[in-house]
């Protein structure tokens, strides 16, 4: 098995051309490898003081040939990302230069880093906990400023502090229960029920926060459905503020799904314009409609678009029934389009439980109101608007829920007068589950699963 004390190396910048590319090393031989390859251009460059940049060249020691002009930084442990000695070689961004520098580092004794191994070492060496380590990946993948803020707050330890406080209370309750089994008359009393109630309240809040936070991390899929020629493509263009979908007076212009993303108050939203749902013998149109129904089934929110200038017809009612049948936890909004034309009645009978917004995709009237309604539909949770949630990781959400189940079971057993040894079983399981969030009880398999999702250079 490879040792966490090996010196590892990887290209830490994305593949492709760019101004700068970075080759990173971590481990006890990092400085020795750098000294064997780097020829500095100024006085003092052989000394390579920690946390300073030096200009020079990476040179192949076998041939004396220059590989690239570089800036290098040596960072002495423990004031580094991994708490090991770290070297970063700033090369030109072309892949040929980066690969050549990487080859020379490998020839000098480093081994290739595994995906996420730098961050794994940061966790194993106590620089960050597991929740913070997972936040590193969320920072890299953030698509909006709001999702970035959530990830940065988690990286800074905000979630870990809340989880740590709940876990501390549960550990103290568990210690009391286990001690009371053998030393009931020799320890001071403790209100374990109050401990469990406080922990349960905190866990419910964490579950709600995680459900909301998942929106910022994963985004939301919104399907735009309706019969042909009601203005679905025009609505997509209006929401995008640009012409993305082809719009013509001819019904059925859209024969396939068209996907585009928008940033809705920090939440990534993927809009899918679908082919009009109608009866047709055209093979291409039928394929398009099958894809439309599939998009509707995958969506978190469905926008049912109807033509407000004419009464709803059989096709509108059938599509509304399809949307209602497909809901199963999804949300829907009825969009009454073409309000710039004389209005018709009857649309209130479609999806009576869903909110409805009147818009003109052609003029832009009502688009802001639709965005507000869509945001309210997405954020149908008690999380304070504008506040970044504590958690956004689905793994954390599952662990908070599991912990809450054990705490609730322990509280019920305690209230029913069940023995302390049985109550302690559920409290112990709660402590174990919560410890998997920050890593105190993380298994090797769990770590492998988490860090395998990282890029090689992080």
Q: Please report the DSSP string for 134-195 in residue order.
A: HHHHHHHH--SHHHHHHHHHHHTTHHHHHHHHHHHHHHHHHHHHHHHHH-TTTS----HHHH
Give the pLDDT of residue 248: 42
Give the pLDDT of residue 458: 82
Give the pLDDT of residue 291: 63
The residues, any chain, with a CB within 8 Å of residue 434's CB and separated by 6 or more, are 163, 166, 167, 170, 399, 400, 403
User: Which of 114-118, 160-164, 253-257, 412-416 shows the lowest per-residue confidence on average (mean pLDDT)?
Assistant: 253-257
3-state secondary structure (DSSP) of residue 81: coil
Dig out the tokens for 22 from the structure. Answer: 């970075």
Determine what percent of the chain is predicted with pLDDT higher than 90.
Answer: 51
User: Which of 67-71, 73-77, 321-325 shows the lowest per-residue confidence on average (mean pLDDT)?
Assistant: 321-325
Give the pLDDT of residue 39: 94
Which one of 20-29, 149-158, 205-214, 241-250 scores highest in mean pLDDT? 20-29
The residues, any chain, with a CB within 8 Å of residue 383's CB and separated by 6 or more, are 208, 209, 212, 389
Cα 357 to Cα 369: distance, rounded to the nearest angstrom = 7
Give the pLDDT of residue 329: 58
Dig out the tokens for 132 from the structure. Answer: 């913070």
- Single pTM value for the model: 0.75
Average pLDDT on 185-211 reads 88
Give the pLDDT of residue 455: 81
Are 273 and 247 contacting, i.e. CB atoms less than 8 angstroms apart? no
Average pLDDT on 48-61 reads 95
Task: Judge whether residue 45 has pLDDT over 70.
Answer: no
Q: Which of 10, 6, 5 is nearest to 87 (CA)?
A: 10
Cα 97 to Cα 74: distance, rounded to the nearest angstrom = 20
Task: Judge whether residue 281 has pLDDT over 60.
Answer: no
Please give the biggest Cα pair distance in the chain: 86
Give the pLDDT of residue 246: 41
Task: Judge whether residue 386 has pLDDT over 60.
Answer: no
Task: Judge whether residue 288 has pLDDT over 60.
Answer: no
Cα 420 to Cα 307: distance, rounded to the nearest angstrom = 65
Q: Mean pLDDT score of the chain, rounded to an integer?
A: 86
Q: How far is CA 153 from CA 138, 231, 389, in A?
A: 11, 41, 9
Dig out the tokens for 203 from the structure. Answer: 């866990």
Higher pLDDT, 314 or 380: 314
User: Which of 4-8, 48-52, 242-246, 409-413 shows the lowest per-residue confidence on average (mean pLDDT)?
Assistant: 242-246
Which one of 205-209, 295-299, 429-433 scores highest in mean pLDDT? 429-433
Confidence of residue 252 (pLDDT cuts 50, 70, 90): very low
Q: Please give the order of strands across the beta sheet that includes 86-92.
A: 38-40, 52-59, 66-75, 86-92, 20-26, 8-11, 111-112
Check residue 388 and report its DSSP letter.
P
Confidence of residue 320 (pLDDT cuts 50, 70, 90): confident
Q: What is 269-290 written as a DSSP string?
A: EEEEE---------HHHHHHHH
Give the pLDDT of residue 276: 55
Average pLDDT on 29-56 reads 90
Give the pLDDT of residue 319: 86
Give the pLDDT of residue 381: 47
Higher pLDDT, 71 or 211: 71
Give the pLDDT of residue 211: 80
Confidence of residue 435 (pLDDT cuts 50, 70, 90): very high
Task: Judge whether residue 273 has pLDDT over 70.
Answer: yes
Report CA torsion sign: 142, 146, 152, 156: negative
Cα 104 to Cα 25: distance, rounded to the nearest angstrom = 12
Give the pLDDT of residue 244: 53
Higher pLDDT, 246 or 405: 405
Q: How far is CA 46 from CA 21, 41, 56, 67, 68, in A?
A: 23, 10, 11, 18, 18
Runs of H (alpha helix) within 38-92? none
- Domains, in order of start, for the chain: 8-113 (3.30.1360.120), 135-213+393-442 (1.20.120.430), 219-378 (3.40.50.300)
User: Which of 13-27, 39-53, 101-115, 322-336 shows the lowest per-residue confidence on average (mean pLDDT)?
Assistant: 322-336
Average pLDDT on 75-92 reads 97
Dig out the tokens for 284 from the structure. Answer: 């291409």
Other CB atoms within a 10 A radius of the CB of residue 225 amount to 28
Give the pLDDT of residue 452: 85
pLDDT tens-place string over residues 151-196: 899 999 999 999 999 999 999 999 999 988 877 667 788 899 999 9
Cα 329 to Cα 326: distance, rounded to the nearest angstrom = 9
Could you tell me whether strands 86-92 and 331-337 are parallel, antiparallel, or unpaired per DSSP bridges? unpaired
User: Which of 259-268, 285-294, 358-367 shows the lowest per-residue confidence on average (mean pLDDT)?
Assistant: 285-294
């Amino acid at each position: 098995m490879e040792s966490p004390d090996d010196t590892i190396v990887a290209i830490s910048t994305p593949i492709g051309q760019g101004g700068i590319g970075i080759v990173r090393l971590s481990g006890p031989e990092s400085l020795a490898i750098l000294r064997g390859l780097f020829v500095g251009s100024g006085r003092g460059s052989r000394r390579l003081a920690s946390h300073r940049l030096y200009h020079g060249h990476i040179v192949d020691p076998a041939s004396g040939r220059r590989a690239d002009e570089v800036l290098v930084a040596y960072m002495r442990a423990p004031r580094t990302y991994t708490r090991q000695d770290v070297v970063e070689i700033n090369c030109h961004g072309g892949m040929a230069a980066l690969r050549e520098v990487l080859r020379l580092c490998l020839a000098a004794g480093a081994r290739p880093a595994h995906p996420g191994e730098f961050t794994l070492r940061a966790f194993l060496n106590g620089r960050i906990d597991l929740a913070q380590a997972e936040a590193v990946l969320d920072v890299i993948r953030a698509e909006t400023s709001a999702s970035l803020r959530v990830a940065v707050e988690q990286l800074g330890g905000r979630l870990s502090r809340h989880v740590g406080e709940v876990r501390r209370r549960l550990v103290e309750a568990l210690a009391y229960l286990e001690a009371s089994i053998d030393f009931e008359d020799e320890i001071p009393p403790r209100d374990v029920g109050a401990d469990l109630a406080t922990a349960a309240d905190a866990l419910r809040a964490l579950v709600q926060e995680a459900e909301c936070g998942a929106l910022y991390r994963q985004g939301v899929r919104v399907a735009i459905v309706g019969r042909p020629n009601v203005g679905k493509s025009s609505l997509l263009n209006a929401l995008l503020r640009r012409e993305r979908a082809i719009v013509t007076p001819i019904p059925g212009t859209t024969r396939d799904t068209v996907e585009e993303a928008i940033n809705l108050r920090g939440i990534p939203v993927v809009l899918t314009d679908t082919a009009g749902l109608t009866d047709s013998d055209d093979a291409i149109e039928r394929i398009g409609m099958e894809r439309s129904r599939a998009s509707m089934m995958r969506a978190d929110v469905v926008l049912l678009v109807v033509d407000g200038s004419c009464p709803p017809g059989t096709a509108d009612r059938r599509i509304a029934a399809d949307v209602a049948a497909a809901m199963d936890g999804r949300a829907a909004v009825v969009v009454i389009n073409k309000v710039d034309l004389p209005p018709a009645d009857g649309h209130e009978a479609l999806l009576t439980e869903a909110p409805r917004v009147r818009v003109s995709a052609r003029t832009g009237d009502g688009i802001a109101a639709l965005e507000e309604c869509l945001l309210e539909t997405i954020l149908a949770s008690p999380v304070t608007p504008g506040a970044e949630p504590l958690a956004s990781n689905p793994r954390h959400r599952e662990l908070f829920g599991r912990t809450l189940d054990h705490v609730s079971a322990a509280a019920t057993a305690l209230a029913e007068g069940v023995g302390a040894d049985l109550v302690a079983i559920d409290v112990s399981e709660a402590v174990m589950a919560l410890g998997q969030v920050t890593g105190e009880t993380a298994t090797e398999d769990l770590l492998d699963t988490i860090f395998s999702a990282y890029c090689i250079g992080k």
